[in-house]
Amino acid sequence: MAKQTNPKPQPSNGKPNSSPGRSPSWLLYILLALLLGQAVFYFNGSHAEEISWSRFKQEMLGNGDVYKIEVINQQRAEIYIKSEALAGSRYPEIDSSQAGPHFAFNIGSLDNFQETLEANQETTGNPIDLAFRERTDWVGNILSWMLPILIIVGIWVFILRRMRPGGGMGGGGGNIFDMGKSKAKLFEKGSSDVTFKDVAGLEEVKVEVKEVVDFLKNPSRYTKLGAKIPKGVLLIGPPGTGKTLLARAVAGQAEVPFYSISGSEFVEMFVGVGASRARDLFKKAKQNSPSIIFIDEIDAIGRSRGKSAAMQANDERENTLNQILTEMDGFGTNTGVIVMAATNRGDVLDRALLRPGRFDRQIYLELPTRSERKAILEVHTQPLALSDDIDLETLAAQTPGFSGADIANLCNEAALIAARRSKEQVEMKDFYDATDRVIGGLEKKSKIISGSEKKVIAHHEAGHATASWFLKHADNLLKVSIVPRGRSLGAAWYLPQEHVIYNTDQFMDRICTALGGRAAEEIIFGKVSSGALDDLEKVTKQAYTMVAYYGLNKKLGNISYYDSTGQSEQSLHKPYSEATAQIIDEEVHKLVETAYQRTVNLLRDHRGQLEELAQLLLNKEVAFKDDLVAIFGERTQEVEA
């Protein structure tokens, strides 16, 4: 595992960090102390027994036991009882040695209270020492204005704790003041264990990327000839083609500090944070040069400025991008910092990023070829216990369109399937099943399909199979199945040929194969179903690209409305007139109709074989190559895969 160091700022003076996280506890202590004070000072006479007005009047006043009354704040009376009365039996609850006040009660109306006392004095002649006192509840007063402040401060502290980078929302430390610091992970020298050997295939790409390592290790080799060392290398390619893996290999082999960050990590909900993080990242990289900065998914910040998907400017992202552009301009070609970036949306990147002097090198990665897939399979089957029947060559041939990540997933899936079957080794069958699963999704044998629907599905799939078998340019058919998988109810599995260019005949044969299902339904049942949705979607798109993009339509001529800059995606206007739009629609319609009629005719000619295959599917659910050969005979126009 790579050792990762998060370059988080440390307190420089060695004093403990007084983070806002601790403030609530001392605030709490102060609050408690104040409450205690309140208890001590305000309820000074709290040992006084609480009594009722009637007991006071009848028992105490009536018997002449009271010698002193203190009225506090004109509200509360504190009663002092004569010691001889306490010594008697009337007040067993009070210890005779206890100093007053002995009893207390709330007087209610002061006038009434005074009148009662005066009346009592007149009748009994017993003098009572009556005093009025003010007692200030200063703690209560302070609390009444402090409490709201404390609550506001508490809420503020809580919000600050939630806002700190990585805080509150899972892991991380630091505080609000770290917000503008870069969150890049630092891979120290030799801490990444990925090497170029782990990256299979991609030979030309590896040569380019290895050079980056060499620039940093031996800069003089280039500079002594007057060459300038590139500042940036941009890896562009579809998802899972090994861009991040390549960067990790560079980190492992360059033996220089490697800062890795994802484009989305620059941008926070606060304005200015992204630019500040970019500044901080470049500063750290320069301090530790020679070093490499790797920005994954750079399209998160590097999209063309002034052009946003939601048609609204995203200033924060633009500020961050501007800062990165400035930083890349800011350091000289020989400062020893190389920026690597990866994206799978090269088309949306700002052109300023792509100009020489910034990302001087742009390396395009593509989906692996057959031989590259074999090499990737070799890497990923290395840790597996494989049986002797494993043929990586065949597997590589059967996985066209798979990315490196797909192949890694396939190997893992095969091992899981073998484990589920309690096998000691992973066999070829496990790989086949894993391929089916990766391509088609999970098998859903439990899905309930009625007999008549099953019949339609069987004939639909048999239609695809029959059409592909007799069309010259159709892909080689491997097997046909009517077992529901993922979202599909049945499937025909092909071994696609890997062409780089296609001609009209090849396109037409593909369209006819896709229409085979619907044509079979019409021929056999005289009516069609909704089961051809996927096929029709594919066919329509294909026909539109032929007419509007590839210039393969005679009426429209050699014209392409394709826009490689991706700007048309945001535009509301079409690049052609209404009249042209109508021609495109008509031509697409004509093309699909011609293909359909051709397919219907082909399937009519082979109706017997089609029905035979459908029957076999209804009985066995799956038909393999041997079954197909038995029904259709050897495929004469079998194309070299």
Catalytic center residues:
461
CB 574: neighbour CB atoms within 10 A? 13
* Nearest-10 Cα torsion for 289, 290, 292, 293: 20
Q: Which is nearer to ligand ATP, 88 or 239 (CB)?
A: 239
CB 237 within 8 A of CB 243: yes
User: Given candidates 66, 104, 139, 202, which one binds ligand ATP under the rule CB under 6 A?
Assistant: 202
236 binds ligand ATP (CB under 6 A): no
Written as one letter, the residue type at 479 is: K
The residue within the footprint of ligand ATP, chosen from 278, 342, 613, 614 (CB under 6 A), is 342
Asked whether 86 and 80 are in contact (CB, 8 A), the reply is no
Tokens representing 29 are: 């202590």
3-state secondary structure 378-408: HHHHCCCCECCCCCHHHHHHCCCCCCHHHHH
Starting from the edge strand earliest in sequence, which strands make up the sheet with 291-296, in order?
A: 4-5, 185-187, 258-262, 291-296, 337-343, 232-236, 361-364
Report if residue 243 touches ligand ATP, rule: CB under 6 A: yes
Among 322, 344, 568, 580, binds ligand ATP (CB under 6 A): 344
How long is the chain?
641
Q: Which of 376, 512, 520, 600 binds ligand ATP (CB under 6 A)?
A: 376
Q: Which of 505, 504, 496 is nearest to 475 (CA)?
A: 496
Of residues 464, 472, 468, the one with CA closest to residue 503:
472
Closest by Cα among 606, 615, 614 to 633: 606
Count of CB atoms within 10 A of residue 635's CB? 17
Least gap, CB of 210 to ligand ATP (angstroms): 14
Number of residues that bind ligand ATP (CB under 6 A): 19
The residue (of 201 and 484) whose beta carbon lies closer to ligand ATP is: 201
Interacting residues of 261 by C-beta distance below 8 A, sequence separation 6+: 182, 183, 184, 185, 281, 293, 294, 295, 296
Q: Is 206 in the site for ligand ATP (CB under 6 A)?
A: no
Instruction: Give the single-character DSSP code of 482.
Output: -
**Binding span for ligand ATP by CB under 6 A among 174-182, 243-251, 276-284, 390-398:** 243-251
- Give residue 463's identity as a one-letter amino acid code: G
Q: Which is nearer to ligand ATP, 400 or 404 (CB)?
A: 404
Q: How far is the CB of 490 from ligand ATP (least distance, A)?
A: 30
User: With respect to ligand ATP, which residue has the nearer C-beta, 408 or 600?
Assistant: 408
Among 199, 337, 377, 592, binds ligand ATP (CB under 6 A): 199
Q: Are 381 and 390 in contact (CB under 8 A)?
A: yes
Q: Is 58 or 369 the residue whose CB approaches ligand ATP more closely? A: 369
Q: Please give the Cα distance from 343 to 248 (Å, whole number).
A: 15
Binding region for ligand ATP (CB under 6 A) out of 78-86, 241-249, 279-287, 515-523: 241-249
Q: Between residues 354 and 405, which has the closer beta carbon with respect to ligand ATP?
A: 405
For residue 466, give every residue at least 6 positions away whose Cβ sits within 8 Å of its Cβ, in sequence order, or none.
516, 520, 602, 603, 606, 609, 610, 613, 632
Contact 201, 240 (CB under 8 A): no
Query: How far is C-alpha 180 from the geometric centre of its chain's CA atoms?
Result: 22
For 501, residues 6+ apart whose C-beta sits below 8 A from its C-beta are: none
- Give, as one character, the DSSP assignment of residue 575: S
| Percent of residues in the chain assigned helix, strand, coil, to nearest 5 | 50, 10, 35
To ligand ATP, the closest distance from the beta carbon of 203 in angstroms equals 10
Rounded to the nearest whole angstrom, what is the least distance from the CB of residue 435 to ligand ATP in the complex? 16
The least distance separating ligand ATP from the CB of residue 405, rounded to whole angstroms, comes to: 3
* 622-624: strand order across its sheet: 491-495, 476-481, 622-624
Of positions 180, 232, 242, 490, contacts ligand ATP by CB under 6 A: 242
Residue nearer to ligand ATP on the CB measure, 378 or 586: 378
Q: Smallest gap, in angstroms, from Cβ of residue 366 to ligand ATP? A: 11
Pick the binder of ligand ATP from 192, 241, 513, 609 (CB under 6 A). 241
CB of 317 to ligand ATP, least distance (A): 19
Q: Which amino acid would we find at residue 365?
A: L
Q: Which stretch binds ligand ATP (CB under 6 A): 108-116, 235-243, 546-554, 587-595?
A: 235-243
200 makes contact with ligand ATP (CB under 6 A): yes
Q: Does 374 bind ligand ATP (CB under 6 A)?
A: no
Residue (180 or 263) nearer to ligand ATP, CB: 263
Site string for ligand ATP, 33-52 (x = CB under 6 A): --------------------
Q: What is the DSSP letter of 16?
A: P
Q: How far apart are the first and last CA of the chain?
A: 39
The radius of gyration of the chain from alpha carbons, rounded to an integer in Å, stands at: 42
Residue of 244, 291, 319, 435 that binds ligand ATP (CB under 6 A): 244
From CA 287, how far away is CA 472, in angstroms rounded? 63
Q: Which is nearer to ligand ATP, 245 or 539 (CB)?
A: 245
Which residue's CB is nearer to ligand ATP, number 284 or number 374?
374
Judge contact between 194 and 251, C-beta under 8 A: yes
Question: Quick one: which of 239, 332, 357, 486 contacts ligand ATP (CB under 6 A)?
Answer: 239
Q: Is 240 in the site for ligand ATP (CB under 6 A)?
A: yes
User: For ligand ATP, what does the binding mask look like between residues 390 and 429, x meaning CB under 6 A?
Assistant: --------------xx--x---------------------
Identify which of residues 340 and 408 has a Cβ nearer to ligand ATP in the complex.
Answer: 408
Distance of CA 549 to the CA centre of its chain: 34
CB of 401 to ligand ATP, least distance (A): 14
**Minimum CB–partner distance for residue 536 and ligand ATP (Å):** 30
- Does 381 bind ligand ATP (CB under 6 A)? Our answer is no
The alpha carbon of residue 550 and the mean position of all alpha carbons in its chain are separated, in whole angstroms, by 37
Q: Does 438 bind ligand ATP (CB under 6 A)?
A: no
**Which residue of 107, 139, 245, 519 would you call a contact of ligand ATP, by CB under 6 A?**
245
Separation of alpha carbons 303 and 298, rounded Å: 8
Select from 87-95, 197-205, 543-551, 572-580 the region that touches ligand ATP (CB under 6 A).
197-205
Nearest CA among 327, 341, 333, 339 for reference residue 219: 333
Q: Give the torsion through C-alpha atoms of 625, 628, 629, 633, to 10 deg.
A: -150
Q: Which residue number has the CB closest to ligand ATP?
A: 404
Nearer to ligand ATP by Cβ, of 290 and 404: the residue is: 404
DSSP 134: -
**Part of the chain binding ligand ATP (CB under 6 A), chosen from 5-13, 236-244, 257-265, 419-427:** 236-244
Q: Which residues bind ligand ATP (CB under 6 A)?
A: 199-202, 237, 239-245, 342, 344, 376, 379, 404-405, 408
